[in-house]
Structure 1
Amino acid sequence: MSVLGSNEAVLSNGRSAVDPQPTRASAGFAAAWMLARREWTRFFRQRNRVTAAILQPLLFWLLFGTGLRGSFTGAGDQSFIEFFLPGTIGLIVLFTAIFATISVIEDRREGFMQSVLVAPVGRWPVLAGKVLGGAAIAWVQALFFLLLVYLFGAATITWSVIPLMLLLAIVAMGLCSLGMIVAWPMDSTQGFHAIMMLGLMPMWLLSGSFFPIPPWNDASVGQMILGGVMRANPLSYAMTEMRRLIYPNVDFAAAGFSPSSATCWSVTVISVVIVSLLAWYFVRGSRKVDVVV
């Protein structure tokens, strides 16, 4: 054996006697991947959760779409079952965001979260792992539902399915980040569900998913206020673009609120970035989760 330096010796097989240590960044990415994979594994091991996540929105779509078919006519003579399709996909992503981020409270009670937080990788892998893991689950569920829709002929497959998948991924990350903002400082699953239902469900309802955004011309004061709130909802722009991508041959501009694709994408992306930064602020700044409850 020959000496190459005072700090490192080389063995006869040419390998260093001092193993290189992984960098903090690489360790953080590995931790985020582990947490995301854990969310994925946990979800698919709970078969009742998989079944409910698909069947519940599917039942909503069929029941509401069939029951309100004769009382609604949308742009391009759309029936309600066609109009409600993008809203059903949004509902799938919404439910997944709720159930994915509630695991933060469960992990804290089991002591797993405390074990993760004492690791020397920082807190951003916790946020990244939870958000990416939940968003991946939501994206796969939405994709499976769309395959059923295309299989039964409720919509036609076109080139727009590619940007539709990208839009769904962005919306899923935004809703999971919003769920992290609510779940991180909480210690009660009941309180989490109450706040999520009080906040996210109205957000979904006021996005044009279940009923069209009312126009401002020839509208009453109540309709003008409702229309203003729905236009201020960032999810409205994602739903509008999603509806345009699913039915690219329908002219939605004649039906009222229909911002351009550039506006819809810009509002959606900017909103997701802001929500993600807020989630990072809460995860980095709050120490409540460090205490075992």
Structure 2
Amino acid sequence: MTTARVSSRVSPSGEDGVRQELRAVHALITRDWLRLAANPTNTVLMLLQPLLFLLAFGGGLSALVPDSAVGGQYRAFLYPGILLMAIQAPAVSVGIRLITDRYNGTIRELLVTPAHRSSLLCGICLGGCATATAQGAVLLALAPAGGLPYRPLPLAGLLAELALAAFTVTALALVPAVHTRRPETFSTLLALTSAPLLFGSGALVPLSTLPSWVTTAAVLNPLAYATDLLRRTVSPTAAAGVHWGTWQPPPVVEAGVLLLTAITALLCTAHRFGRTDDMT
């Protein structure tokens, strides 16, 4: 019995081993795609809030907010925040699914497969990233409503930046998820953190108009870098976002911060995910 259990954990080496790990990652990504396709109502509901914000705030406040306050039209200023809002909900829901999978035994079944746990974790994260990016991409069809014309290069850039932001938010959501056993606890944590992080990122109003302590805290807010990155693509003349002292990081540095944050979060998650007693 012991020999059989040990041999079931042995993975092929070389090229076959790489293909096996990639198949495991692909299977987990496909699982999330199937979940997305099987529940279109949930997708519509997730997109309803950012759509309402775009139409209500973008249409109603654009006449009240002077162009000089945001470096251009308010609707164009708001649009990147709406895109970020569209990916935030599906990205963090990966954490709830991880807790649910652990409760119903799905994680236990995954852990006894020959695939390495790092591959399983990457598949879970990339699956959530892919579905979140897809939902955010739906709002790219409304680019003219955000003051962005249909031009292939800016839209492709926005899509790539959305994918990076979704990857970062998904990775961050997995950190508390592996330390939580009850979905209710995780949902409460999201309710306490999601809105403050979004509003403190400058997604809806310029950081310069917020209290000084919020502007200072934005340096540690990954959503602030994601918002700034998206906004520079939509409206290069928009109001400045995150500053390190008197220096505003260029887009490549902000993208690097997001990537480094995601990798650090995955490493923290992997440390806990690799402990069998905690994940079963």
TM-score range (shorter-chain normalised) is 0.7 to 0.9
Question: In the alignment, does 2:82 pair up with 1:88?
Answer: yes
Per-residue CA shift, 1:56-96, capped at 9, x if unaligned?
211122223234333323333422x3322111111111101
Report if aligned partners of 1:244, 1:252 keep a CA contact under 8 Å in 2. no
Tell me which residue corresponds to 1:192. 186
Q: Secondary structure at the match of 2:202?
A: helix
Structure 2 unaligned residues grouped into runs of 5+? 1-11
Question: In the alignment, does 2:96 pair up with 1:99?
Answer: no
Per-residue CA shift, 1:154-197, capped at 9, x if unaligned?
31234232222221111111111111112223221111111122
Report if aligned partners of 1:39, 1:100 keep a CA contact under 8 Å in 2. no
Superposition deviation, residue 200 in structure 1: 2.9
Out of 160, 174, 190, the position equivalent to 1:166 is 160
Alignment: residue pair count? 261
Superposition deviation, residue 251 in structure 1: 5.2
Seen in structure 2, the aligned counterparts of structure 1 residues 251 and 189 have a Cα distance that, compared at 3 Å, is closer
Report if aligned partners of 2:224, 2:242 keep a CA contact under 8 Å in 1. no
Question: In the alignment, does 2:31 pair up with 1:38?
Answer: yes
Rg larger in structure: 1
Report if aligned partners of 1:53, 1:96 keep a CA contact under 8 Å in 2. yes
Report if aligned partners of 1:101, 1:134 keep a CA contact under 8 Å in 2. no
Question: In the alignment, does 2:65 pair up with 1:72?
Answer: yes
Report if aligned partners of 1:206, 1:236 keep a CA contact under 8 Å in 2. yes
Seen in structure 2, the aligned counterparts of structure 1 residues 272 and 153 have a Cα distance that, compared at 3 Å, is closer
Q: Which amino acid aligns with 1:223?
A: P
CA RMSD, Structure 1 to Structure 2 (Å): 2.4
Question: In the alignment, does 2:242 pair up with 1:247?
Answer: no
Superposition deviation, residue 260 in structure 1: 2.1
Out of 254, 273, 279, the position equivalent to 1:283 is 273
1:256 and 1:133 mapped to 2: Cα distance?
Answer: 29
Question: In the alignment, does 2:253 pair up with 1:263?
Answer: yes
* Identity over aligned pairs, percent: 26
Q: Secondary structure at the match of 2:200?
A: helix
Tell me which residue corresponds to 2:104. 110
Superposition deviation, residue 153 in structure 1: 6.8
Q: Which amino acid aligns with 2:65?
A: F
Tell me which residue corresponds to 1:54. 47
Q: Which amino acid aligns with 1:230?
A: A
Greater share of helix: 2
Superposition deviation, residue 286 in structure 1: 6.1
Seen in structure 2, the aligned counterparts of structure 1 residues 117 and 286 have a Cα distance that, compared at 3 Å, is closer
Structure 1 unaligned residues grouped into runs of 5+? 1-19, 216-221
Normalised TM-score (structure 1):
0.80
Q: Secondary structure at the match of 2:205?
A: coil
